[in-house]
């Protein structure tokens, strides 16, 4: 049987501290439960640096949440253009404050 090519799905929100990491974790769980995780590359990112250094980021890390350690990661143009699916979780992430 032919190997299925991996698809890249990118979850995007303003700060990458709650919405997009949670969506990433839920999607990871779904594809793992369906035994299709080899078919997917899954990531999350931010469109703004406004949450970098936010003290709330330490709470999931301390309590070992399902997120596996959050990451406030700013989106670069390359992952955005390479993604097969790019899901923006809020309108503000399309037009971040300057």
Per-residue pLDDT reduced to its tens digit, 44-90: 888 877 766 665 554 444 444 445 544 556 555 556 678 899 898 88
- Among all chains, which residue has been given the structure tokens 């350690």? 69
**Is 0.85 surpassed by the pTM of this model?**
no
Q: Are 47 and 12 contacting, i.e. CB atoms less than 8 angstroms apart? A: yes
Q: Are 25 and 67 contacting, i.e. CB atoms less than 8 angstroms apart? A: yes
pLDDT for the residue 75: 59
Dist CA 83 CA 14 (whole Å): 18
Dist CA 11 CA 92 (whole Å): 14
5 vs 73: which has the higher pLDDT: 5
CATH for 7-93, among 1.10.540.10, 3.40.50.800, 3.40.50.2300, 3.10.580.10? 3.40.50.2300
pLDDT for the residue 66: 46
pLDDT for the residue 79: 63
> Any idea where the domains of the chain sit in the sequence?
7-93
Q: Are 19 and 37 contacting, i.e. CB atoms less than 8 angstroms apart? A: no
pLDDT for the residue 81: 77
């Amino acid at each position: 049987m032919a190997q299925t090519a991996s698809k890249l799905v990118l979850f995007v929100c303003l700060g990458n501290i709650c919405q997009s990491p949670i969506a990433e974790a839920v999607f990871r769980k779904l594809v793992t439960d369906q035994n299709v995780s080899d078919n997917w590359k899954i990531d999350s990112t931010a469109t703004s640096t406004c949450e970098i250094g936010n003290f709330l980021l330490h709470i999931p890390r301390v309590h070992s949440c399902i997120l596996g350690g959050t990451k406030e990661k700013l989106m670069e143009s390359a992952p955005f253009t390479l993604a097969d699916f790019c899901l923006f979780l809020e309108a503000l992430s399309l037009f971040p404050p300057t």
